[in-house]
Amino acid sequence: MHPAFSVVFFTTATGAGYGLLALLGVLGGLGFIQPEFWLGLVSMAFALGLIVAGLLSSTGHLGRPERAWRAFSQWRSSWLSREGVASVATFIPAGLFGIGWVLFGKSGGWVAVAGLLAAVGAVTTVCATGMIYASLKPIAQWHSPYTLPAYLIFAGMTGSVLLNAVLQGFDAGSTAVLAGALLAALAGWAWKIATWRYNDRLESPTTANTATGLAGGTVRSIEWPHTEENYLLKEMGFRIARKHSAKLRRITQALAFAVPAILLAIVFALPWPFAAIASALAAISQLTGMLVERWLFFAEAKHTVTLYYGRE
């Protein structure tokens, strides 16, 4: 699949944004993180900023963005529509939570309710995003049991690493949050490796034989219906060399998981402002790494239409 930047950025940014929002909603709403104006403002700005930037970026993928509002109508069948509805709906509790927690400096009560609802919305939205991909049967690497958990784990991971960075930045670091972020990074790493292993061993029952209805033996494409690349090949025929892919996997592991994990581990032993700097670096490294991960998520996904073109 073609790794369009708008979509790569969208899923990475909203994943981190919703992850952060959910954590803030729960931890802030329930008072585990004390309401404090600047901390609240900055952390909510991060969460909502990433979400808004991601959603805006996603409209860059649309042919007719001015009609984007129509996407809220088909929530009964479409995960994309559900994602749209959930993402927008989440703004309501998120906004109320932000007002209560940041402006009014409150937690508990209706703020907690709003925070929890925002968290539920965030999780729902991430689930919907994950399901958009997980539901696509033509793409075996996505239509797998690993996809939905991956979206949730990565949202939680990037959200917690971000939250830790913000807390550390305000010298309000929490060992629990830090430990959570570190564990999440390790969990994400493990999940990613497991996913790759699964994908690398994937044997799809869908082959050029079933695609053409020509049973048995080998089916080789000898002529395409067109000389130059068409929409199908540009959108779904993206190919990445094994060597290139291996390199990017290493970069992903380093930036998204290893470097943040090491930095976070060090943070346990560091005083402010070094802890803050390390935490910020961990977040930056991880988000960069996750962009690479998400790019690979697309680039390594093979659509069945490529079977028709002999791009196996």
Partner 1 sequence: MTCLPARTDKKLGLVIDLDTCVGCQACVTACKEWNTGGHMAPLTDIDPYGGHADGVWFNRVHTYEHMTEMGGRTVNFPRSCLHCDQPACVTVCPTGASYKRASDGIVLVDEDKCIGCKLCSWACPYGAREFDTEVGVMKKCTLCIDRIYNDNLAEEDRVPACVAACPTSARHFGDLGDPGSAISQLVEERGGVALMPELGYKPTNKYLPPRARTGRAARVDAPALEPIRAEGGFLGWIDRMLSN
Partner 2 sequence: MSRAGPRGANSAPSQRPLADSRPPNEGDGVDTSPSVSDRIAKTTCYVCACRCGIDVHIKDGKVRYINGNKDHPVNRGVICGKGSAGIMQHYSPARLRKPLLRTGPRGSGEFREIEWEEALAIATGRLSAIRRTDPKKLAFFTGRDQSQSLTGWWASRFGTPNFAAHGGFCSVNMAAGGLYTIGGSFWEFGEPDWDNTKYFMLFGVAEDHDSNPIKIGLGKLKARGAKVVSINPCRTGYNAIADDWIGIRPGRDGLFVLALVHELLKAGRIDLDYLLRYTNAPVLVVQEPGSADDGLLVRDDANNLLAWDRVAKAAVNAADPGAKPALTGSYIVDGRCCIPVFQLIADRYLNDNYSPDAVAERCGISANTIRRIAAELAHVAFEQVIELPVAWTDWAGRRHETIKGRPVSMHAMRGISAHSNGFHTCRAIHLLQVLLGTVDVPGGFRFKPPYPRCAPAGPKPAGKNLQPMTPLEGMPLGFVCGPDDLLVDEAGAPIRIDKAFSWEAPLAAHGLMHSVIRNAWAADPYPIDTLMMYMSNMAWNSSMSTVETLRMLTDKDPSGAYKIPFIIYSDAYYSETVPFADLVLPDTTYLERHDCISLLDRPISHADGPADAIRHPVVQPDRDVRPFQSVLIELGARLGLPGFVNEDGSARYRDYADYIVNHERTPGIGPLAGWRGRNGGSIGKGEVNPDQLQRYIDNGGFWHHELAADQRYYKMGNRAYLDFAVEMGFIAKAEPIVFQLYSEPMQRFRLAARAHGKAQPPDAERGRIETYMDPLPFWYAPFEDEAVDPQKYPLHALTQRPMHMYHSWGAQNAWLRQITSQNRLFVHRETAGKLGLVDDDWVWIESVNGRVKGQIKLIDGVNPDTVWTWNAIGKRRGSWGLKDDAAESNRGFLLNHIIGDQTSAGANGKRYSNSDPVTGQAAWFDLRVRIVKCAPEEAGFTEPQFERFAQPPSFEPSPDVLRFGAEFRIKREAAE
Binding residues vs partner 1 (CB under 8 A): 1, 61-65, 67-68, 70-74, 76-81, 84, 132, 135-139, 205-206, 208, 210-232, 234-236, 303-305, 308-309
Helix axes 147-169, 175-200, angle to 10 degrees: 150
Angle at 247 between CA 246 and CA 250, to 5 degrees: 90
- As measured in angstroms, the least distance from the Cβ of 92 to partner 1 is 20
Task: Write out the binding residues for partner 2, residues 224-283 only, by CB under 8 A.
Answer: 225-228
Q: How far is the CB of 130 from partner 2 (least distance, A)?
A: 32
* Comparison of 79 and 151: residue with beta carbon closer to partner 1: 79
Nearest to 38 by CA among 145, 166, 211: 166
Give least dist CB 224 to partner 2, A.
Answer: 9
Q: How far is the CB of 75 from partner 2 (least distance, A)?
A: 21
Provide CB contacts within 8 A for 116, sequence distance 6+: 25, 26, 29, 30, 93
Q: Which is nearer to partner 2, 225 or 271 (CB)?
A: 225
Rounded-to-integer distance, Cα 152 and Cα 158, Å: 10
Query: Degrees (nearest 5) of the Cα angle 132, 138, 140?
Result: 85
- In the region spanning residues 215 to 234, those forming contacts with partner 2, defined by CB under 8 A, are 220, 222-223, 225-228
Q: Which does 12 bind (CB under 5 to 8 A by kind): partner 2, partner 1, none?
A: none
Rg over alpha carbons for the chain, rounded to the nearest Å, is: 21
Which one of partner 2, partner 1, none is in contact with 81 (Cβ closer than 5 to 8 A by kind)?
partner 1
- How far is 36 from 281, CA to CA, in rounded Å? 23
**Residue 303 binds which one of partner 2, partner 1, none, with CB within 5 to 8 A depending on kind?**
partner 1
Nearest to 125 by CA among 30, 13, 45: 13
Residue 164 vs 304, nearer CB to partner 1: 304
